[in-house]
Amino acid sequence: MAYLLQQLANAVPLAALYAALAFGYAVAFGVTKRPDITYGAIFAFSGQILLLFTDIAYNRLWLILPAALGFGAVCAVLYGVTAGIWVGRSIMLPLVRNASNTVIVAALGVTIVLMETARLASNTRSLWLSPFMNSHVVLWHGGAFDVVLTQIQLVNTVLMCVLVLIGAFVLGCSSWGRMWRAVTDDPLAAELCGTSSRRVFLVAYATAALVASICGILSTAYYGTMDFGDGLLFGLKVLMVAAVGGYSDPVKSAGGAAGLGFVETLWTAYGSYLWRDFTVFSLLVLLLVLSRRERVAP
């Protein structure tokens, strides 16, 4: 019993990460209507920028670790959101309007550019953060062992859940949320009603980049590093993870992705670790195929 509870507790931070990433991806997908691995690349890029500027602040500016982490986090958000705005305005918006089928190819090119930029800026060095907030918080006292999570896991989970809740509130209760839904349903009709679909597109893409950047910072702070090749890996994974709840509703997408986080963790605990990625990706591909069939059905 204690082992099962520990695995469920371990699944909560991963589920929160998947939910936040899927929510942000669905916001961007609503205006692009095309698979876009750039989102995962921005997630990894922001984590790498956090490592780079934290290293600069700590070793060159002689800041203490909390100040260095804060400096790195601010730079990561600025770089991640700036990259998202640039990609959305200069690449995705023109392609979606004029040559939508080339979005996938352009996203791959942007992903390579972001990965190589981070690699060259770090001189191909794998940077690591010093461990912090690793004290255990006991969630349940069991007979064999206690069910615990670390402080940073709890903080990350709370922040990611708050991020999703704020996003859901904005989409459901604000005028911008209504404009976003109008543009996702029919951009031309929204334009005829006085809504600038271009502005909504750019704000949605920048919002998705902000969510990806925050998640990248929190994930890197927990794991301690972010590899240069993770941009492509997370780009593909987020694209598939967001499909669990469907792309049409960011809240449903977040809920489905959270469920996948529990499935992945429980498979790791009770199944073969070597078959975990194969099983999870096979399930995601199946869901993508089924959701695609639903969209094209008459």
Indicate if the alpha-carbon torsion angle 163, 164, 165, 169 is positive or negative.
positive
CATH tag, 2-129+143-293: 1.10.3470
**Rounded to an integer, what distance in angstroms lies between the CA atom of residue 74 and that of residue 217?**
10
User: Taking residues 279-294, what's their average pLDDT?
Assistant: 68
SS3 (DSSP) at 148: strand
Over pLDDT 90: what percentage of the chain? Answer: 51
> In Å, how far are 15, 27, 45, 49, 52 from 56, measured between CA atoms?
32, 33, 17, 10, 6
Predicted pLDDT of residue 6:
87
The pTM of this model reads 0.91
**Rounded to an integer, what distance in angstroms lies between the CA atom of residue 128 and that of residue 159?**
22
Please say whether the beta carbons of 86 and 109 come within 8 A: no
**Rounded to an integer, what distance in angstroms lies between the CA atom of residue 63 and that of residue 56?**
9
Predicted pLDDT of residue 194:
86
Residue 64 φ then ψ, to 5°: -70, 165
Predicted pLDDT of residue 243:
74
Q: What is the dihedral of CA 180, 171, 219, 130, to 10 degrees?
A: 110
Band (267; pLDDT cuts 50, 70, 90): confident
Amino acid at the residue 103: V
Per residue in 108-152, pLDDT tens? 999 999 999 989 988 888 899 988 898 988 888 876 778 889 999
Band (296; pLDDT cuts 50, 70, 90): very low
* The pLDDT of residue 4 is above 90: no
Per residue in 71-87, pLDDT tens? 999 999 999 999 999 99
Q: Sketch the domain layout of the chain as residue ranges.
A: 2-129+143-293
